[in-house]
Structure 1
Amino acid sequence: MKNIFIGLIAVWGLFLVSCETREPMAEVIERGLEVSKRQAVFLAKEVENQEGRLPRTYEGGELKTSDYRAWISGFFPGVLWYLYENTPTDELKRYAELYTERVEPAKDMTTTHDLGFMLYCSFGNGYRLTKNPYYLEVMTMGAESLATRYDERVKAIKSWNSSEKWQFPVIIDNMMNLEFLSYLAKTTGEKRLMNMADSHAQTTLRHHFRDDYSCYHVVSYDTLSGQPHFKGTHQGYADRSAWARGQAWALYGYTMMYRETGKAEYLEQARKVASYIKNHPHLPDDKIPYWDFDAPDIPAAPRDASAAAVMASGLIELSQLDKSKEGADWLELAEMQIRSLSSPEYLAKPGTNGGFILKHSVGNYNKNSEVDVPLSYADYYYVEALLRLKKLQNEN
């Protein structure tokens, strides 16, 4: 036990190198992945005997979990699969399989648009790495469940159910679930799934963005005309503010859709959103955004590490797809964000933070829910970004 403790201190102590010299990016990546692995295994052991439970956050000294029905259910299994991809050990694979299995009942849910988050991050990564046909079967059923939420008149996938305020609400987050449909379309030959994803992205492109390329969080459509009747927010500061994670979803989503379709308008949109983020006067020097770019209490407003992790991962991919001179700018910004996220300010010391990897994320500030806490999706996109950077390093 003593040797393990000494090892943990040694891993964290590597960061001290950067106090005197600039730590090489390759070392930042390896340090981040090592801490991530230790934290993920620690957390997996903590929840292993809690049947059906999946890690959500760590708040007030207490580990909070969810079951398969939560939109975040697929992220922790996804973290484990990514770490297994980087370091293929029996332990990581066993835990990845265990926690993936806990998400399986989500395949039959038709009440949520988040099946991409839930099933693609877990079963999708599992299938990519193991080619287990059962994983593909689960995803195929899940994609059909998600397809029930597509409306031909609106030409989009319904995010939340109707209410007094919203007839057919679509949130910018929904862009992230389109990769699930695209993947299943390519893998199974079910082209209508790709058509749904493409139509949703086109509808969102037309109605979700302002002239400065910031985006609304929620756009609700009239079910008769198919046109918007409401544009505003649910989790941002105000209807016309730029909720940080929403901008991150937009950046990542359109980058991904360009990769999947090759359509120039998606690349252009991703570039415009990236430029908005990069040049925003309220983006702090360490490039970890406030929870909303227009929060009234900046610079005292909470930071959102989850938004930074999503941005960094999206920017890394965009830097490879964008052949203009700005491609290098996107990679530079992503590396700055990864350096900050891998600093003691945001990266947990092994054995702390309830086993989560990153500190200082914001779930829903407006409801005082999960504010300044670790979040499973922050960890997922951080590890994804590290692996994307590592791949680039190995190619160069």
Structure 2
Amino acid sequence: MTRTLRIILTLCLVASAGTGAAQSIVRKSFTRAAQQTALMDSLAPADRFPASWEHDGTTRYNSAKGWISGFFPGNIWYLYEYTGDAKWLEAARRRTAQLEPLRHYTQTHDVGFMVGCPCSLAYRLTRDDYYKQLMIDASEALISRFNPTVGLIRSWNNKDGKANPFRVIIDNMMNLEMLFLASEFTGDRRYRDIAVTHADNTLKNHFRADNSCFHILCYDTETGKVVTQKGGQGYSQTSAWSRGQSWGLYGFTMCYRFTHDRRYLDRAVKSAEYFINHPNLPEDMVPYWDYYAPGIPDEPRDASAAAVTASALLELAKYVPEKEKLYYKTAKKILHSLASDRYLIPAGKKNGFLIDHSVGSKPSKSQVDVPIIYGDYYFLEALLRLKNYKSHK
């Protein structure tokens, strides 16, 4: 056997071993997901949506108008995609049907999460036009929140009904995917143009020189200028809330998919590098709830931020050939950690949630170090991206 042939065979064996390890993570996690989701479906009332497990052993539920409502139906769609089992199709349709009241809901920017996440999966997997139309209608509701002077979609309404401050959160980047899809479905450029304008102004204003991002920016509706920044769910105005950094990475990676705008790709790469190279990132790559939380290393982790990051990196890797190996390996390491006993919840425990140790808002003392439904959703999405990954080198 020649030396060249031996090298080729060795590389093939290494690649095969890596692929085998990745598929083992996927199989193990989806087996657990099936067990836990069946339990959650049996416990959750028909018109309620699981949000998080609480430390007293109960589940926190939201109505359809709670911003997390789309994630549990989305989890079931992912199970159907992975297994092809008709029982998951029935459950996914049943749970998604409860989102009908959101068709024309204009009171939140989060309809992209609430409608876009489950219905984009539903339409892709079934080609049922009902789900497509639901996304189009919800997109029309979403763009009603766009302010052309500010050039952004309003995130939260003010309780006093006043126009100012006009608050925009980094999370809002995630809701643009539904607008891009609505534009593709209809040929109507309004949805796409608003998504691009929102992304452009987020790119302009939301990021710091060190490539971290603010959680909340407040704009003046008369001038369109930023008047203040707020820490929101992070430790402080100048810190880096970990899930916010993940939303930014994911959101601009997704925007590049639809636009091929190099500025969005560059922004996603900078956010990826911020994550990978951060001195406060733990060895298992599951970040603390804030990169500058004062009690590190004794601060809670945020597994949901890790799951969002892993999913984003597996998409970003396809667009950056020179970084593909690094991003793929990083994502796989994150998923290996989340599939470990530290994070993956034992079958039958914690009312059917899948991964543990996420943080909703530590400053508000809400959902701290508990399983949260969107962590499960992005974990399953990342696992499917890992399962289907093909090198683009």
Q: Tell me which interval the TM-score lies in, with the shorter structure as reference length.
A: over 0.9
Aligned positions of 1:2-151 closer than 5 A: 24-47=21-44, 50-59=45-54, 60-151=56-147
For 2:381, the equivalent position in structure 1 comes to 384
Matched, 1:356 2:362: no
Q: Which amino acid aligns with 1:258?
A: Y
Q: Match of 2:51, SS?
A: strand
How far 1:331 sits from its partner (Å)?
Answer: 1.2
Confirm or deny: 8 A CA contact 2:46 2:95 kept in the other structure: no
How far 1:122 sits from its partner (Å)?
Answer: 1.4
For 2:15, the equivalent position in structure 1 comes to none
- Counterpart pick for 1:273 among 244, 266, 271: 271
Q: Match of 1:392, SS?
A: coil
* Cα distance in 1, alignment partners of residues 392 and 89 from structure 2: 26
For 1:372, the equivalent position in structure 2 comes to 369
How far 1:103 sits from its partner (Å)?
Answer: 1.5
Matched, 1:320 2:301: no
Taking only the aligned residue pairs, the percentage that are identical comes to: 43
Distance 1:163 1:129, change over 3 A: same
Confirm or deny: 8 A CA contact 1:41 1:92 kept in the other structure: no
For 1:295, the equivalent position in structure 2 comes to 293
* Cα distance in 2, alignment partners of residues 394 and 38 from structure 1: 31
Aligned positions of 1:339-354 closer than 5 A: 339-354=336-351
Q: Match of 1:363, SS?
A: strand
* Cα distance in 1, alignment partners of residues 20 and 39 from structure 2: 27
* Cα distance in 2, alignment partners of residues 247 and 191 from structure 1: 29
Aligned positions of 1:185-334 closer than 5 A: 185-323=183-321, 325-334=322-331
Q: Match of 1:229, SS?
A: strand
Confirm or deny: 8 A CA contact 2:304 2:372 kept in the other structure: yes
Confirm or deny: 8 A CA contact 2:253 2:316 kept in the other structure: yes
Confirm or deny: 8 A CA contact 1:28 1:339 kept in the other structure: yes
How far 1:233 sits from its partner (Å)?
Answer: 1.7
Confirm or deny: 8 A CA contact 2:51 2:372 kept in the other structure: yes
* Cα distance in 1, alignment partners of residues 39 and 106 from structure 2: 33
Q: 1:44-79: per-residue Cα shift (whole Å, max 9, x none)? A: 1222xx231111111121122111010000000001
Q: Match of 2:389, SS?
A: helix
Q: Which amino acid aligns with 1:367?
A: S
How far 1:337 sits from its partner (Å)?
Answer: 0.4
Confirm or deny: 8 A CA contact 1:254 1:266 kept in the other structure: yes
For 1:160, the equivalent position in structure 2 comes to 156
How far 1:40 sits from its partner (Å)?
Answer: 1.0
Confirm or deny: 8 A CA contact 1:54 1:76 kept in the other structure: yes
Q: Match of 2:274, SS?
A: helix
How far 1:363 sits from its partner (Å)?
Answer: 0.6
Matched, 1:177 2:175: yes
Confirm or deny: 8 A CA contact 1:181 1:193 kept in the other structure: yes
How far 1:327 sits from its partner (Å)?
Answer: 2.2
Q: Which runs of 5+ in 2 are unaligned?
A: 1-17
Confirm or deny: 8 A CA contact 2:43 2:351 kept in the other structure: no
Over aligned residue pairs, what C-alpha RMSD do you find?
A: 1.8
Q: 1:219-260: per-residue Cα shift (whole Å, max 9, x none)? A: 111111111001122110000100000000000000000011
* Cα distance in 2, alignment partners of residues 218 and 155 from structure 1: 16
* Cα distance in 1, alignment partners of residues 291 and 19 from structure 2: 29
Equivalent pairs, count = 373
Give TM-score, length-normalised by structure 2. 0.92
Ranges of 4+ aligned residues in structure 1 off by more than 4 Å: 163-166, 393-396
* Cα distance in 1, alignment partners of residues 366 and 20 from structure 2: 35
* Cα distance in 1, alignment partners of residues 120 and 289 from structure 2: 29
Confirm or deny: 8 A CA contact 2:253 2:312 kept in the other structure: yes
* Cα distance in 2, alignment partners of residues 306 and 113 from structure 1: 20
Q: Which amino acid aligns with 2:109?
A: H
Q: 1:146-204: per-residue Cα shift (whole Å, max 9, x none)? A: 01000111111000113689511100000000001001111111111000000000000
Confirm or deny: 8 A CA contact 2:318 2:392 kept in the other structure: no
Confirm or deny: 8 A CA contact 1:353 1:359 kept in the other structure: no
* Cα distance in 1, alignment partners of residues 215 and 193 from structure 2: 23
* Cα distance in 2, alignment partners of residues 87 and 207 from structure 1: 43
* Cα distance in 2, alignment partners of residues 393 and 32 from structure 1: 20
How far 1:395 sits from its partner (Å)?
Answer: 9.3
Q: Which runs of 5+ in 1 are unaligned?
A: 1-20
Q: Which amino acid aligns with 1:230?
A: T
* Cα distance in 2, alignment partners of residues 139 and 25 from structure 1: 33
